């Protein structure tokens, strides 16, 4: 079976859109390069001695690992090649990064360079998440406010998963396509075209250790799932929890389910656990493009207007009917 390379895929997509300039293709090519380099850094981490903590914290107050910083540097370096970005923002940096004057384009890149990095030492899947926005019209030197765009304005979004195989999953607003890295040729090949999330599912993913902190709607939903066939749902459910958002969402894209990280009594002061711009928005775009739903529990995630660069948010996403049920329980509170 002959598989399409991501370069051929992007070229074909560009040809199918009247008026396409090819700029997004070049930006995605740089992101592809970033993900290949990060995959190599993750795979070689134990051999190079880069798996440990640095003893420093990022702006989120989280302990940084050497690979966090390495991955962040890779994204900054690789994504200045095209000259089409005006600036970048990352979970690992306090402030936005402006591309060198004279080489600035009209797009913005936001990314989590190594999602789930606490898992690297135990060889569990980690990933990179990215989102591309248009720089506001007429802006030459983007400011903080220019990055604070709701998710509906994303031009494209995606993630790389570094697991038993390296995968790249992207959307440009016309469905979701998955590519697997052929390490022999160094090419990403289209292996999962037009991924779709089943509307119904019998799997849920949540950190059960936080149960005592949850809002009533989440407690009700999980309690009903745990009761299984003898409860009001009438069917048995399985629980999954990897503690890596990329791995959780990837599983949902392949076979359905719901992923929940709600705002609760433990993280209410921060507004939630997951970052809106680097994690929730790009994943929400992917999930919706694959036929699922993404919500805070009370509103559509992609319509939330960011108030800060590192804003945190409540997240429920996955199979449409399961997310709708959670939203109904929030409405009943």
Strand 85-90 with 107-115, pairing? parallel
Q: What is the pLDDT of residue 58?
A: 54
Query: Tell me: the pLDDT tens digits for 120-147?
Result: 777 889 999 999 999 999 888 999 999 9
Q: What is the pLDDT of residue 319?
A: 98
Residue 261 half-sphere exposure toward CB, CA atoms < 13 A: 20
Mean pLDDT across the chain: 92
Encoded tokens for 116: 């789930």
Residue 61 has pLDDT above 80, yes or no: no
Q: How far, CA to CA in Å, does 250 sit from each of 118, 124, 290?
A: 18, 14, 11
Q: What angle do CA 180, 274, 99 make, to 5 degrees?
A: 70
């Amino acid at each position: 079976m002959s598989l399409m390379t991501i370069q051929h895929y992007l070229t074909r997509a560009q040809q199918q859109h009247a008026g396409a300039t090819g700029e997004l293709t070049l930006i995605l090519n740089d992101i592809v390069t970033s993900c290949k380099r990060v995959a190599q850094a993750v795979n070689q981490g134990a051999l190079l001695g880069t798996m440990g903590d640095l003893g420093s914290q990022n702006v989120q107050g989280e302990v940084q690992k050497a690979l966090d910083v390495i991955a962040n540097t890779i994204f900054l370096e690789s994504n200045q090649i095209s000259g089409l970005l005006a600036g970048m923002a990352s979970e690992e940096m306090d402030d936005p990064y402006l591309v060198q004057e004279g080489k600035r384009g009209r797009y913005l890149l936001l990314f989590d360079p190594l999602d789930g990095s606490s898992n690297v030492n135990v060889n569990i899947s980690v990933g990179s998440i990215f989102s591309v926005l248009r720089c506001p019209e007429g802006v030459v030197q983007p400011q903080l406010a220019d990055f604070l765009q709701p998710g509906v304005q994303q031009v494209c979004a995606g993630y790389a998963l570094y697991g038993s195989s390296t995968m790249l999953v992207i959307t440009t607003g016309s469905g979701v396509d998955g590519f697997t890295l052929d390490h022999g040729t160094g090419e990403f090949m289209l292996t999962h075209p037009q991924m779709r999330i089943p509307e119904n599912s019998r799997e849920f993913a949540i950190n059960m250790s936080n149960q005592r902190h949850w809002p009533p709607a989440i407690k009700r939903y999980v309690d009903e799932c745990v009761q299984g066939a003898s409860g009001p749902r009438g069917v048995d459910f399985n629980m999954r929890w990897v503690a890596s958002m990329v791995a959780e969402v990837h599983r949902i894209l392949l076979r359905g389910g719901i992923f929940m990280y709600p705002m609760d009594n433990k993280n209410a002061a921060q507004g939630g656990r997951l970052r809106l711009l680097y994690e929730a928005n790009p994943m929400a775009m992917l999930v919706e493009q694959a036929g699922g739903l993404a919500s805070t529990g009370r509103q559509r995630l992609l319509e939330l207007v960011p108030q800060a660069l590192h804003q945190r948010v409540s997240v429920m996403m996955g199979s449409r009917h399961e997310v709708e049920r959670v939203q109904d329980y929030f409405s009943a509170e």
